[in-house]
Amino acid sequence: MLFHLFTLSFTPTSVPTITIAPGVKMPLAGVGTWQYNATVAERVVAEALGLGYRHVDTALNYHNQDGVGRAIAAAIDGSRLTRRDLFLVSKIP
């Protein structure tokens, strides 16, 4: 699974989107974090955001929120990326 992540790159115009509110288009392709510990989730999310992903799928029951959060914070601190650019998808336990 990681192999595919590291060989793909997306631009905002190349990923299909769905309009979820007027003027708000969410990318249909996202990076998943299921079955990753916090360390792996951090690395995967950081790489995905660097490749152009803007949709991160996670859940409270994955127990890797610390890693996901660190990757997002680092991406925002290290670029022109803002929180408004990202879609974080979760599940209700």
Per-residue pLDDT reduced to its tens digit, 34-76:
999 999 999 999 999 999 999 999 999 999 999 999 999 999 9
Of 3-7, 23-27, 37-41, 74-78, minimum mean pLDDT range: 3-7
What residues are annotated to the active site? 62
The domain total for the chain is 1
Predicted TM-score (pTM) above 0.85: no
Determine the structural domain holding residue 68 and report its residue range: 2-89
- How would DSSP label each residue in 7-41? H----TTTS-EEEEETTEEEES--EE-TT--HHHH
Collapsed DSSP state (helix, strand, coil) of residue 72? helix
CB atoms within 10 A of CB 44: 24
Residue 24 has pLDDT above 50, yes or no: yes
pLDDT at 3 (0 to 100)? 46
